């Protein structure tokens, strides 16, 4: 009798548990439907928020400042590898050992044009341009006090508030322009894009002033090419000194033959670098100002705010629906 009662109570408890679980599942389904119904019911809130996002995006597009673009098209020169030609064929294994001693590979991994694009944003190149052309004053001259020679710190309530917020959050605050800022400026303005299905490259510089955009394009390309030429001459001079030292200390005929061939190759390359031939690329379309100015990205300016405001509206409606259901 006792065992039967216990069995009945266990069965009842199991039934209640199963019934409670089913009720919970139904509650979850009802809650989800409840939220969906609230989203459908309050669709006008999503519409208003999306419209606000669209208005903000249109205002940003209206406030966008179009910039002029200076363009040129070049055909990059192919960089020859150090182990090419008859010298490599005649040197054999000895030449490979010598090249290994120079710390160079027989195939060039980076082209001269790739190096030019990289050099344009380096601090050393920016310092060279500033020393030769006073580029810091040309770019940041509006913020320079001519009488005292000091940089003028921006003012205004909005600027001070933003500075306090950035300082509190450990974000960058205003500092005087330096050569590093100039290098970042040059790197951000220079854009390189390949022309599809061709070996040509389109180089562009954008700026609010068309004359300055054209000046920067010509200056960056010319001086970066010369900067690389001087770097290559210095590298060749260092390599030639190494080869001459190895030639004086080597008695193996095979290695001496390879070294003499490499020295001849070094002399030929130095001679070519000292001429007026194109070093980095051949200009196929001279620098000019495009009639088309830069335009805002509609997807980013308008589409993103609409999407963001819509998701914010969904989040608000879901939170309100959940709190009300409880």
**pLDDT tens digits, one per residue of 137-192:** 888 887 877 777 788 888 888 888 998 999 899 998 988 899 999 999 999 999 99
Buried b (16+ CB within 10 A) or exposed e, 275-300: eeeebbbeeeeebeeeeeeeebeeee
Adjacent-strand bridge partners of 282: 75
Q: Are 55 and 301 in contact (CB under 8 A)?
A: no
Annotate 269-283 with DSSP letters as a single string.
HHHHHTSSS-SSEEE
Q: Both tokens of residue 216?
A: 């920067």
For the whole prediction, is pTM greater than 0.75?
Answer: no
Residue 247's nearest CA partner among 100, 104, 106, 98 is 98
Q: Both tokens of residue 131?
A: 């020393």
Runs of H (alpha helix) within 42-156: 43-63, 85-102, 112-119, 123-133, 135-140
Name 103's Cβ contacts closer than 8 Å, sequence gap at least 6. none
Q: Is the pLDDT of residue 68 over 80?
A: yes
Which pLDDT score is estimated for 215? 94
pLDDT digits (tens, 9 = 90+) for 216-260: 999 999 999 989 888 888 888 888 888 878 778 877 777 878 877
Residue 80's nearest CA partner among 258, 269, 261, 237 is 269
């Amino acid at each position: 009798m006792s065992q039967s009662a216990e069995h009945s109570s266990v069965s009842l408890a199991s039934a209640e548990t199963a019934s409670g679980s089913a009720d919970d599942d139904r509650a979850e389904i009802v809650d989800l439907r409840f939220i969906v119904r609230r989203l459908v019911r309050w669709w006008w809130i999503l519409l208003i928020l999306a419209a606000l996002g669209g208005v903000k995006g249109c205002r940003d597009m209206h406030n966008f400042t179009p910039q002029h673009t200076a363009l040129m098209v070049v055909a990059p020169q192919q960089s020859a590898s150090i182990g090419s030609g008859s010298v490599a064929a005649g040197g054999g294994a000895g030449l490979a050992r010598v090249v290994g001693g120079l710390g160079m590979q027989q195939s060039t991994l980076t082209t001269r044009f790739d190096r030019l694009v990289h050099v344009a944003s380096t601090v050393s190149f920016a310092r060279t341009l500033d020393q030769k052309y006073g580029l810091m004053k040309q770019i940041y001259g509006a913020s320079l006090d001519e009488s005292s020679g000091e940089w003028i710190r921006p003012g205004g309530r909005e600027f001070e508030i933003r500075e306090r917020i950035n300082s509190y959050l450990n974000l960058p605050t205003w500092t005087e322009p330096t050569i590093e800022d100039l290098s970042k400026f040059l790197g951000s303005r220079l854009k390189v894009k390949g022309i599809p299905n061709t070996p040509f490259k389109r180089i562009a510089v954008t700026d609010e002033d068309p004359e300055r955009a054209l000046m920067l394009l010509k200056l960056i390309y010319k001086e970066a090419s010369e900067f690389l030429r001087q770097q290559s001459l210095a590298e060749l001079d260092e390599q030639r000194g190494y080869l001459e030292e190895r030639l004086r200390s080597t008695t193996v005929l095979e290695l001496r033959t390879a070294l003499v061939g490499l020295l001849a190759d070094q002399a030929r390359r130095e001679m070519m670098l000292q001429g007026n031939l194109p070093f980095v690329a051949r200009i196929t379309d001279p620098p000019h100002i495009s009639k088309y100015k830069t335009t805002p990205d509609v997807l980013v300016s308008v589409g993103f705010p609409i999407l963001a405001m819509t998701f914010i509206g969904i989040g608000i409606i879901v939170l309100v629906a959940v709190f009300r259901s409880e």
